C-alpha cells in the first residue's frame, strides 16, 4: 500500500444529467436521471486509488459553504481530508450524457481564491511531504486568482522531497507545469496539441510530441486518446493500448481512472505492459457508467483480456511504428 496525495485546486460538484435520447438545445428536454457527485480530477483519482487499497490523502482548495457532499464522500471512500477551506461555494459542473454516448461538459471557472489560502495550501503540502509520501498527483484546472505558476511551484517542492509528482492539467497551466518536469504527465491529445502548437492527428505526431517530453526529462508521458486508447512513453520505450469494446454511458473521469490505474501499477513495481493493460481496462470499465472505474466489476478479467497492448519503436520516423 502506498501513501499518495492528490491535489485538486479546483474541485467541483458534478451534476450529471442523463438524457433519454438526444438533447435538443433551446427546447424542453425530459431527463432520465440526475445525480450530484463530489468530484474534480484529483478527487476522482483518489477514489480509484483508495479502491485499489492505497492510503490516500486529498487536498486542494474547497469552498466552505457547500462542503457537505465532499466531506460525506471522503468519509465513505476512506480518503483523508486535508483540503484548505476557502470562503464561498465550490463550483457545480454540468455533465450532459446522451443515449448515444455523447457527453457534454459545462465546467465553471471556480472560486476566486485569496492569496492567504494558497499560502496555507503550500504549508499543508510541505507538512504532508515531511510526514512521508510515495507520490503526489496534481490534477485539474486552476481556480480564479491562482497564478499559472502554481502547479510548477508545487512540482518543484515535491521534487525537493524526491517524491514523484504526476500532473494532469490543461492550457497555460500545463505548459507552465511541464517546464518544472513532473515525473509523470497525463494529457489527452487535444491538451498535448495545445502545448505542441499543432494538431496531433497522426500516430507519428503523437509519438513525436510524447517523445519530446520524455527526452526532456519527464519519465512517464501517458497520452490518453479517448476511445482510441493510450500511448505511453516511458523508460525509453513506447507502448500503445487499444481498449476493449464497451458501450459508453459517461466518459467523465475516464482519464482520472487511467492515471490512477497507471500509478497503481507503477508503484506496485509491475512490468510496463501489465500496468498499461490494467489501467486501460479500468478506464474502459469506467465509461460504462457514471463515475470512476470499478476494479471489482464482475467482468473486469474479461475487459483485461480484451485490452491489446503493443510495444513500438520510439522513433516516429520508423515505418513499422504505426500500430
Ligand X SMILES: O=P(O)(O)OC[C@@]1(O)O[C@H](CO)[C@@H](O)[C@@H]1O
Ligand Y SMILES: Nc1ncnc2c1ncn2[C@@H]1O[C@H](COP(=O)(O)OP(=O)(O)OP(=O)(O)O)[C@@H](O)[C@H]1O
Minimum Å gap between C-beta 257 and ligand Y is 7
Minimum Å gap between C-beta 169 and ligand Y is 10
Stretch that binds ligand X, among 7-15, 20-28, 53-61, 298-306 (CB under 6 A): 7-15
Annotated catalytic residue 256: yes
Q: What span, in angstroms and rounded, lies between the C-alpha atoms of 189 and 237? A: 19
Contact 79, 56 (CB under 8 A): yes
Q: In sequence order, what E strands does 182-287 have?
A: 184-185, 220-224, 230-234, 237-242
Choosing from 167, 221, 225, 303, the residue that interacts with ligand Y (CB under 6 A) is 225
**Which residues lie closer than 8 Å to 73 by C-beta, 6 or more apart?**
37, 38, 43, 47, 79
Choosing from 3, 4, 7, 14, the residue that interacts with ligand X (CB under 6 A) is 14
The reply on whether position 279 binds ligand X by CB under 6 A is no
Contact 235, 265 (CB under 8 A): no
Contact 79, 3 (CB under 8 A): no
Q: Which does 14 bind (CB under 5 to 8 A by kind): ligand X, ligand Y, none?
A: ligand X
Minimum Å gap between C-beta 74 and ligand X is 15
Q: Binding to ligand X (CB under 6 A): which residues in 96-155? A: 105, 107, 140-141
**Cβ-based nearer residue to ligand Y, 58 or 230:** 230
C-alpha cell of 115? Answer: 492569496
The reply on whether position 251 binds ligand Y by CB under 6 A is yes
Of the candidates 37, 168, 220, 256, the residue annotated as catalytic is: 256
**Cβ-based nearer residue to ligand X, 105 or 301:** 105
- E strand or H helix that includes residue 96: strand 92-97
Count H helices and E strands in the chain, helices first. 10, 15
The reply on whether position 246 binds ligand Y by CB under 6 A is yes
Q: CA–CA distance from 251 to each of 83, 122, 158 (Å)? A: 26, 32, 30
Q: Which residues lie near ligand X (CB under 6 A)?
A: 10, 12, 14, 39-41, 44, 93, 105, 107, 140-141, 170, 252-253, 255-256
Q: Which residues lie near ligand Y (CB under 6 A)?
A: 188, 224-227, 229-230, 243, 246, 248, 251-256, 258, 280, 283-284, 287
Amino acid at each position: 500500500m502506498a501513501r499518495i496525495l492528490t491535489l485538486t485546486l479546483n474541485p467541483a460538484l458534478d451534476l450529471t444529467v442523463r438524457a433519454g435520447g438526444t438533447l435538443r438545445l433551446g427546447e424542453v428536454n425530459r431527463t432520465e436521471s440526475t445525480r450530484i457527485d463530489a468530484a474534480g480530477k484529483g478527487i476522482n483519482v483518489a477514489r480509484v486509488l483508495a479502491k485499489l487499497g492505497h492510503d490516500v490523502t486529498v487536498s486542494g482548495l474547497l469552498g466552505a459553504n457547500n462542503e457537505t457532499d465532499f466531506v460525506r464522500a471522503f468519509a465513505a471512500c476512506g480518503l483523508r481530508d486535508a483540503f484548505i477551506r476557502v470562503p464561498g461555494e465550490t463550483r457545480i459542473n454540468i455533465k450532459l450524457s446522451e443515449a448515444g454516448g455523447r457527453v457534454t461538459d459545462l465546467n465553471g471557472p471556480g472560486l476566486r481564491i485569496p492569496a492567504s489560502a494558497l499560502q496555507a495550501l503550500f504549508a499543508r503540502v510541505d507538512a504532508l511531504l515531511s510526514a512521508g509520501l510515495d507520490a503526489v498527483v496534481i490534477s485539474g484546472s486552476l481556480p480564479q486568482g491562482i497564478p499559472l505558476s502554481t502547479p510548477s511551484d508545487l512540482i518543484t517542492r515535491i521534487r525537493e522531497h524526491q517524491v514523484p509528482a504526476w500532473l494532469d492539467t490543461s492550457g497555460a497551466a500545463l505548459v507552465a507545469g511541464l517546464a518544472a518536469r513532473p515525473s509523470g504527465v497525463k494529457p489527452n491529445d487535444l491538451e498535448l496539441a495545445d502545448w505542441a502548437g499543432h494538431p496531433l492527428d497522426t500516430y507519428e505526431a503523437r509519438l513525436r510530441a510524447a517523445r519530446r517530453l520524455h527526452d526532456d526529462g519527464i519519465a512517464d508521458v501517458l497520452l490518453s486518446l479517448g476511445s482510441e486508447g493510450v500511448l505511453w512513453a516511458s523508460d525509453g520505450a513506447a507502448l500503445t493500448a487499444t481498449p476493449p469494446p464497451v458501450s459508453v454511458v459517461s466518459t467523465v473521469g475516464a482519464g482520472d481512472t487511467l492515471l490512477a490505474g497507471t500509478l497503481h501499477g507503477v508503484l506496485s513495481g509491475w512490468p510496463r505492459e501489465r500496468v498499461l493493460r490494467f489501467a486501460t481496462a479500468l478506464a474502459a470499465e469506467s465509461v460504462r457508467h457514471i463515475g470512476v472505474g470499478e476494479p471489482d466489476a464482475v467482468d473486469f478479467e474479461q475487459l483485461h483480456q480484451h485490452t491489446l497492448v503493443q510495444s513500438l519503436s520510439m522513433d516516429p520516423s520508423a515505418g513499422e511504428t504505426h500500430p
